[in-house]
Amino acid sequence: MERLNEFSRLINKVYYNLFVELDKKKKITFNFTKEKRWDLLNQIIKIKKIENYLEIGCDNNHLFEKINVSNKIGVDPREGGNVRKTSDEFFKYNKKKFELIFIDGLHEYDQVNRDIENSLNCIENDGLILLHDCLPSTLRSQAVPRYSYYWNGDVWKSIVKFRHHENLNIKTIKIDEGISVIKKCKNQNILNLNIKDYKNLKFEDFYNNYKDYMNLINYSDFIKSI
Ligand SMILES: C[S@@+](CC[C@H](N)C(=O)[O-])C[C@H]1O[C@@H](n2cnc3c(N)ncnc32)[C@H](O)[C@@H]1O
């Protein structure tokens, strides 16, 4: 785990378990497909004949280098891609439109919300916004502040928030740590929860309700639906 030393890790773990939520060691088994995110993205690119792709958070280009499109932009303040900025800095001046956006930057609720809002402003009308790491299997893998090496962050809370939107249809594919797909169209399965602060949701809530919260779909059914 880069940029987090053992001392911070321990402090974050104690803080989270004392003041946010105690780890009861519950685990969800998702049975993800053998296909990975690049298989999904390249299928979408092929089927929808996509030419303009944006990736937020590229790391070592594990995904970015496998994307087969003529125009691709990869934004990362640290490494990978071809734009050395944070997503906020990039979106502030961006005028381009994209048919496919993959959000995989800082996996924390407030940042993910901004990345989704900004992506909605530059996605083509029938384009797709995808988010990685939406299905954490344990409390520690979604805890913010982070204390686990293996980490998805709390992206799932942003999905719960946006699933209330009338004009956004959102599904979560059971592939590669969970990939949610946002499309601008009438929400066919609106989530109606009386929640004031989505950030305060707990892993216990996710554990008990993830099927409703995330609107799960199999990889093959999703590909058929494109
Ligand atoms: C999980 S990695 C991305 C992995 C890559 N998309 C893939 O599929 O292999 C997350 C990346 O997000 C970057 N990142 C962190 N904060 C960011 C921000 N505010 N804007 C854009 N990228 C950010 C990190 O530097 C890191 O390289």
Residue 1 has pLDDT above 80, yes or no: no
For ligand 1, atom 23, the nearest C-alpha belongs to 105
Task: Dump pLDDT digits (tens) for 135-176.
Answer: 999 999 999 999 999 999 999 999 999 999 999 999 999 999
Note down the domain range covering 118.
6-225
What pTM does this model have? 0.97
For ligand 1, atom 1, the nearest C-alpha belongs to 104
Residue 12 has pLDDT above 90, yes or no: yes
Give domain status of residue 37, yes or no.
yes
59 CA from centroid of ligand 1 (Å): 5
Name the domain count of the chain.
1
Give domain status of residue 34, yes or no.
yes
Give domain status of residue 190, yes or no.
yes
Give domain status of residue 103, yes or no.
yes
**Beta carbon of 152 within 6 Å of any ligand 1 atom:** no
Pocket test for ligand 1, best of 41, 42, 58 (most atoms within 8 A of CB): 58
Give domain status of residue 120, yes or no.
yes
Pocket test for ligand 1, best of 35, 59, 154 (most atoms within 8 A of CB): 59
CATH of the domain at 24: 3.40.50.150
Residues 226, 127: contact at Cβ < 8 Å? no
Give domain status of residue 174, yes or no.
yes
Give domain status of residue 24, yes or no.
yes
Do β-strands 179-184 and 123-131 pair in parallel, antiparallel, or remain unpaired? antiparallel
Give domain status of residue 1, yes or no.
no
Residue 10 has pLDDT above 80, yes or no: yes
Q: In the block, which residue shows the tokens 């979408």? A: 44
For every residue of 165-198, DSSP letters joined together read: -TTEEEEEESSTT-EEEEEES--TT------S-G
63 CA from centroid of ligand 1 (Å): 11
**Beta carbon of 104 within 6 Å of any ligand 1 atom:** yes
pLDDT at position 2: 56
